[in-house]
Structure 1
Amino acid sequence: MRPIIPLLMALLAGASIAARAADTPPARLVILDDDGFSLAQWMVLKAKDVTVLGECTVSGDVWQKEATAQALRGLEIAGRTDVKVYPGATYPLLNSEKLTDRWEALYGKLTWRGAWMKQWVEPTKQKLPPYHGPDVVPDLPQGNPHTRPADESAAAFMIRMVHRYPGQVSIVETGPMTNLALAQKLDPQFASLAKELVYMGGSLNPRRVLASPESADFAREFANSPRREFNIRFDPEAASITMRAPWRRIVMVPVDPSTATEMSDALVKRLSAADTPIARALRGPASHFPLWDEITTAVWLDPSLITGSHELYIDTNTAFSAGYGDILSWTPGYQPDLDEQREQVVLSVDVGRLETLMVGLVSRP
């Protein structure tokens, strides 16, 4: 009978290990889709219990090829070349530089045109990126990448992942929604198979909060057009297609909460204090940009950062009019019921805890 005792002990030990494993939550699966690599993506890469399935790129602030180079280099700096980069759409579905020129001739100048930006309308402290065509990739400030992107397109990759992990994949979008719209049109099951969509885009009624001179530069963007925001305005048709897709859950991070944030000199000093590759890469002059994308990845990582939100039905104005690309919203019951989806719209966040989270993540080796 004595051999039974070791066997029993082994079985009990195995049961204990299995119980501990059952108590350990599985890694959260996420796809990052953006128009330029930034601190926001580094935050997710350094978070615990998160598996980044891939990094997708799209044109917006810069052209897709430049965004792809930025993503590759950002992953190299983070020591995460195991994460592949999937190039996405170069052009919006219908919008174009010529259509934007025509719109401005009819309705006035846009504050920001992204990859189509040639000059500021009025003086600003922010630098103007060099204007170039979609196939030009300028040298990157952090050095050019040594790795190459995947051969698969962003839309095909996202479709493949939601079918492999149904109901488990979060998509965090911090650029125009062209890739998402293409994926939805290629596969009508795409949105319903994802766990959730969390996106930075749109604007409801933002107000200037900070007193810094730099914040005034951004306040003027929504002073006379509070419903307009670049990520949505660059490809309004894609935004509308994406917003009306049958997602299980949608979290919208509009401009509104970002007006209480700034990539200030003090914050850059805190972020760059650690001796890690990411912290060292953040050293240099502060951009003074609001933390648009950082808020988005942060509230996905920790929803308790949200201090105020509304449940609204959201769509995008796709009529080529003065309101082209503006956000449309309705409180529940007032929506026209044309497949608009109910979204959690983030209106405010705990800025102190947000900055602490950012500093903690970039300090990890």
Structure 2
Amino acid sequence: MALPAFSRLQRSVLGLAAALAFGASAHAAEPRLVILDDDGFALAQWMVLKAPGVKVLGVATVSGDLWQKEATAHALRGVEIANRTDVPVLAGATYPLLNSEKLTDRWEGLYGKLTWRGAWMRQWVEPTTQPLPPYHGPDVVPDLPEGNPHIRPSSERAADFMIRMVHQYPGQVSIIETGPMTNLALAQRLDPEFAGLAKELVYMGGSLGPRRKLTSEASAQFAREFVNSPRREFNIRFDPEAASIVMRAPWRRIVMVPADPATETEMNADLVHRLSTADTPIAHNLRGKATNFPLWDEMTAAIWLDPSLIKTSASLYIDVNTQFSAGYGDILSWTPGYQPDLDEQREQVVMTVDVPRLEALMVKLVATK
């Protein structure tokens, strides 16, 4: 059977359609670019490293729950366990911009004790089953329970790396922040174009008014963080000035994952069992390690990977109280039109998530080889 002859115009149209189809296919195949910034590498970072269609440009570290050097050691060991030593680890800020251990001592003398002080934590105020990391100085790196790393961090500073990446890939780089915002604030102050060149910021931090949702004893212990101070959350409270700088920077898009939705989640024994049944290095590392912590960081990583996990959210302008007062480090929020208009940015604030689908995604990614 003879094939019909095509006119020059028809061939041109067909060629253009094929080229467009190829271009769309190639564009769809392009990986999502992301930088991870955190104060302690764990499951959330592993999830992103193992996610398909994602290219992690680097893992940055900052002081918060741990000192930066200890957080860097965890990150180095984490990429080793994930078999992703191709991903650079960038050491970031050791100290907050203005806040300090002595200022925190003074604040507590005036306004009462904080539940959690991170790297400055010496003891719990009341009995709890939550573990207490050993108190030490910023240059001490204890032996890690998962084993000490064999590789070293990059010689480039975290803030410089972030600036370089957003210039190299303008409008393409997402940043997932699950620790204090010191590195981001430094990058913004060093380069005012930084935030505007990034694709988006997705961060775990802040608190609007969480309510305890689970009945376990662990959930009651973690509720101490917000029951009398509903606007206070550690990641923001550790470096409020940095957080305010970041909140006022001209990001194209900001997604806030506050403490509120995490009250429906828990890293309990059942979830750890489901995560650790796979035959992967990450699953092996998780065995028997139920912490009963809420899934703060894991939820943030999952929301970036799959925004459809968000059930409800609010559009709010957000800033941080930087006055050295009883509300130091507390979140300030306004519905559109009520903000003072001092460069606060509009953010998508996550209120509730689909917890079963969140846990299913975690299990799937931990099983990815």
- TM-score tier, shorter chain, comes to over 0.9
Offset at 1:21? 3.5
What code does the residue aligned with 1:321 have? S
Alignment-derived partner of residue 27 in structure 1: 31
| 5+ long unaligned stretches in structure 2 | 1-10
Aligned partner of 2:53 among 45, 49, 52: 49
Distance 1:204 1:23 in 2: 38
Q: 1:246 to 1:135 in 2, by over 3 A?
A: same
Alignment-derived partner of residue 301 in structure 1: 305
Aligned partner of 1:273 among 274, 277, 287: 277
Deviation beyond 4 Å, 4+ runs, structure 1: 14-17
1:330 correspondence with 2:334: yes
1:234 correspondence with 2:242: no
CA distances 1:112-140 after superposition (whole Å, capped 9, x unpaired): 00000000001111110000000000000
Aligned residues: 355
Distance 2:299 2:21 in 1: 37
| 5+ long unaligned stretches in structure 1 | 1-7
Alignment-derived partner of residue 157 in structure 1: 161
What code does the residue aligned with 1:99 have? L
Distance 1:22 1:52 in 2: 19
Distance 1:92 1:24 in 2: 40
CA distances 1:165-224 after superposition (whole Å, capped 9, x unpaired): 000000000000000000000000000000000000000010000000110001111011
Alignment-derived partner of residue 200 in structure 2: 196
Distance 1:168 1:23 in 2: 12
Offset at 1:93? 0.1
Distance 2:19 2:119 in 1: 57
The DSSP-based 3-state class of the residue aligned with 1:321 is coil
Distance 2:103 2:300 in 1: 29
Alignment-derived partner of residue 134 in structure 1: 138
Aligned partner of 2:188 among 180, 184, 200: 184
TM-score normalised by structure 2 residue count: 0.94
What code does the residue aligned with 1:232 have? I
What code does the residue aligned with 1:205 have? G
Alignment-derived partner of residue 257 in structure 2: 253
Alignment-derived partner of residue 90 in structure 1: 94
Distance 2:332 2:254 in 1: 15
The DSSP-based 3-state class of the residue aligned with 1:214 is helix
TM-score normalised by structure 1 residue count: 0.95
Offset at 1:102? 0.2
The DSSP-based 3-state class of the residue aligned with 1:318 is coil
Distance 1:101 1:20 in 2: 57
Aligned partner of 1:311 among 309, 315, 321: 315
Distance 2:272 2:26 in 1: 40
The DSSP-based 3-state class of the residue aligned with 1:66 is helix
Q: How does 1:62-73 map to 2 (within 5 A)?
A: 62-73=66-77
Distance 1:47 1:240 in 2: 31
Alignment-derived partner of residue 244 in structure 1: 248
Offset at 1:26? 1.2
What code does the residue aligned with 1:222 have? F
Distance 1:211 1:53 in 2: 40
CA distances 1:28-78 after superposition (whole Å, capped 9, x unpaired): 000000000010000000000000000000000000000000000000000
Distance 1:279 1:285 in 2: 10
Distance 1:180 1:113 in 2: 21
Alignment-derived partner of residue 357 in structure 1: 361
Alignment-derived partner of residue 5 in structure 1: none
What code does the residue aligned with 2:225 have? E
Alignment-derived partner of residue 149 in structure 2: 145
CA distances 1:269-296 after superposition (whole Å, capped 9, x unpaired): 0000001000000011310000000000
Alignment-derived partner of residue 229 in structure 2: 225
Alignment-derived partner of residue 42 in structure 2: 38
What code does the residue aligned with 2:365 have? L
What code does the residue aligned with 2:66 have? V
What code does the residue aligned with 2:258 have? P
Distance 2:261 2:147 in 1: 32
Offset at 1:23? 6.1
How high is the sequence identity, in percent, across the aligned residues? 77
1:102 correspondence with 2:106: yes
What code does the residue aligned with 1:296 have? T
Q: 1:17 to 1:223 in 2, by over 3 A?
A: closer
Q: 1:289 to 1:16 in 2, by over 3 A?
A: same
